[in-house]
A = this chain, B = another copy of it.
Amino acid sequence: MTYTSRQVRLASRPTGFPTAENFSIEDHPVRPLEEGEALLRTLYLSLDPYMRGRMNEGRSYAEHLQVGDIMLGGTVSEVIESRSAEVTPGQIVVGGAGWQTFSVEAAAGLRVIDPDDAPISTALGVLGMTGFTAYSGLLAIGRPQAGETLAVAAATGPVGATVGQIAKLKGMRTIGIAGGPEKVAYLRELGFDAAVDHRRDDLAEQIAEAAPDGIDVYFENVGGAVWEAVLPHLNLFGRVPVCGLAANYNATGAPAGPDRSQQLLQTVLNQSLTIRGFIQTEFQETQFESFLRDMGAWVREGRITYREDITDGLDNAPETFIGMLSGKNFGKTLIRVADDA
């Protein structure tokens, strides 16, 4: 049997915010399997802000997409055919098929999951890349200490919400920063001690009020105005895991002056801060197993909750992605590409 994979490809590089024209949707026949490979049917596709960066040209922390490439992304798929002993048809696996309905992948790169453990979509979220980003960045770089204060932006997003809840489990006081009253209300549900609305024009005052003892860990995944508002409140020996800079992904140039970069370094010096960029892959070998064990237990016990924002149909991926970049998502953004068999 031959399969046709529907694919979303990068049609052109965006200037600033992406538009529908930057994507093309095409059908292509799936090539035959080689030894060690598996044919997969995509069930869920993860949409994440980092993808915006990959659409640009230039030096980055990972390979950039070329125009014409299939958009990249983490996926949960069903194994349809296999030429490897590692996976068998019917199994559910986590892989990186990208934005397409069928894929051929090396079986060695797939992770088999048990649908009885948790909903399979969570393998892309709280029990997958975003959860692991939160877990590894907070524990390895943030080094949470009971009694200290944590702040996190995009705090209703899949990374931020998980960071806040883990920090709380570790005994920290937690400040969540999000945009708009609905998200701020959700921050309270998530158990944040203080909630800050970055869309209000008194951001600086809100942060000052939320952090009377300063901020020891700022988990950075936004940048821009939120960064500027948090920086003056960082305590001596504060830690800043830098996981993303969503506010800047669509920037077309450096913002107007004055140049605050030297002031940033001066604050790093004055406060003996640690600012550390990371991608979760660097911790994969050392921490992924403890993550699956800890987070699996926390989710089962209801100590960590999560929220998913699921849209049906691959064809809706570009619009959903663009909406997510402007904060329209509420929880982990996923495309249900096909129904779970």
Partner of A277, one of B248, B253, B254, B272: B272
Residues of B within 8 A of A255 (CB): 257-259, 262
Does A278 reach chain B (CB closer than 8 Å)?
yes
Q: How many residues of A contact B (CB 8 A)?
A: 44
Does A265 reach chain B (CB closer than 8 Å)?
yes
Beyond A269-B242, A273-B276, whether A259 also contacts B262 by CB under 8 A is: no
Given the complex of chains A and B, what is the CA–CA distance between A118 and B262 in angstroms? Answer: 38
Does A263 reach chain B (CB closer than 8 Å)?
yes
Does A316 reach chain B (CB closer than 8 Å)?
no
Does A292 reach chain B (CB closer than 8 Å)?
no
Does A268 reach chain B (CB closer than 8 Å)?
yes
Partner of A254, one of B237, B263, B278: B263
A274 with B272: CB separation less than 8 A: no
Beyond A254-B257, A255-B257, A257-B256, whether A245 also contacts B271 by CB under 8 A is: no
Does A279 reach chain B (CB closer than 8 Å)?
yes
Chain B nearest CB from A48 CB (Å) reads 14
Q: Which of A236, A244, A260, A273 has the largest count of B CB atoms less than 10 A from its CB?
A: A260
Does A285 reach chain B (CB closer than 8 Å)?
no
Given the complex of chains A and B, what is the CA–CA distance between A315 and B16 in angstroms? Answer: 59
Chain B nearest CB from A16 CB (Å) reads 15
Does A227 reach chain B (CB closer than 8 Å)?
yes
B275 with A262: CB separation less than 8 A: no
Q: Which of A227, A251, A255 has the largest count of B CB atoms less than 10 A from its CB?
A: A255
**Given A61-B272, A227-B265, A259-B260, 5 other A-B residues pairs in contact with their CB atoms under 8 A:** A227-B261, A255-B257, A256-B258, A257-B259, A270-B277
* 10 nearest A-B pairs in the assembled complex, by CB-CB distance: A257-B257, A254-B258, A268-B277, A269-B277, A260-B261, A261-B261, A61-B270, A275-B275, A255-B259, A274-B276
**What are 28 contact pairs spanning A and B, CB under 8 A?**
A60-B270, A61-B269, A223-B265, A237-B282, A242-B268, A244-B269, A245-B262, A245-B265, A247-B262, A248-B265, A251-B262, A254-B257, A254-B259, A255-B259, A256-B257, A256-B258, A257-B259, A259-B260, A265-B277, A268-B275, A268-B277, A269-B277, A271-B277, A273-B277, A274-B275, A274-B276, A274-B277, A275-B276
